[in-house]
Amino acid sequence: MTRTRAAVAVAFAALTVSALALTMAPIASADPLAAIRQAVNNARAGSTCPPLNYSIPLEGEAQHAIGNNLPGVPPTGQYKGTFAVTLAAPFGSANNAEGATRGAVGEATPAINDCSNKDFGVGFFRKGDDDTVAIVLGKPAAAPQAPPAAVQCPAGSETPTVPAGQTCKAAASPNNLPVRCTGNYELPAGSDCSKTPNPSPPAPKPPKNAVAVNVEQSPTSVAVNVKNTSPLPGKCTYDAAPKNGLLMPAVHRDFNVNPNDATRLDFLAPPLGVKYHLVVSCHGTFNGQDDEFGHVEQDVTGGL
């Protein structure tokens, strides 16, 4: 809310005859503001401006400007726009609301006839024998402007629209698009993937599950064939632990296996019906780090 002396007028006409009464009381009328509103509307009708809109927020400004703060009076500070205050000189005699209204309307006539004023509110208050009328006219705040419309782009553009003030861009033709190669990498338009390796190849991953174990049994022996399908030389362990059979020994052996090669381990066959649990684990060095590239577990039963 902004107050400007040039934008709007608040006119007061006070009937001041007796200064002896100090008691404040509202006018004894069903609607003391109706006659004041009608007087303002009649004055506006004599101009070339459209009718004014009555504003409860401006009524609150008018009432409080003349000291009417009684319960039920609208609060101040609610009008969304600008208004100003002009005081009228005291007018008429005691208990003369009509004379006070004529004085206020006469004082506010320039503002009433100002077509830029769209709203008004009025106030009335009686203090002792003095009737006071206030008229407030105001200019509402301008409605916020809608954002500018988006620019519609022609066919063949990258996007169907662009924000206001921006320029549409033509979509890239197929001949100008990057080339996507096997291996999930892109090269500039016109490149040949078969002749240009990935400029940023992904980091190699360490081999996993690269060991296979095949057990060959006979009545008297067990051959354990360990095959390495990785490019790493392996340091491996073989462990066989009995799952049944009293006092059966566990078996452990360390061995090596070359890259993409196989190794055979030979053992005595376990007694008939005795079950062993076999574990083969192979480790190698990959990019300076230890890597278990093979781990196989299975059961072997004697006599089977």
pLDDT in tens, 88-136: 544 444 467 888 888 889 889 999 999 999 999 999 888 777 788 899 9
In this structure, are 41 and 129 located in the same domain?
Answer: yes
Q: How many CB atoms lie within 10 A of CB 202?
A: 9
Q: Pick the range with the lowest mean pLDDT from 90-104, 184-198, 242-256, 274-288.
A: 90-104
pLDDT in tens, 15-46: 332 222 333 334 445 588 999 999 999 999 99
Q: What is the pLDDT of residue 95?
A: 64
Q: Which of 139, 170, 188 is the last residue of a domain?
A: 139
Q: What is the pLDDT of residue 155?
A: 79
Q: What is the pLDDT of residue 26?
A: 41
Q: Which of 88, 121, 139 is the last residue of a domain?
A: 139
In this structure, are 134 and 232 located in the same domain?
Answer: no
Decide if pLDDT at 256 tops 90: yes
pTM: 0.43
Domain that holds residue 129: 32-139
67 within domain boundaries:
yes
Q: Which CATH number belongs to the domain containing residue 56 in this structure?
A: 3.40.33.10
Domain count along the chain: 2
Q: What is the pLDDT of residue 179?
A: 80
Place 195 in a pLDDT band, splitting at 50, 70 and 90: confident
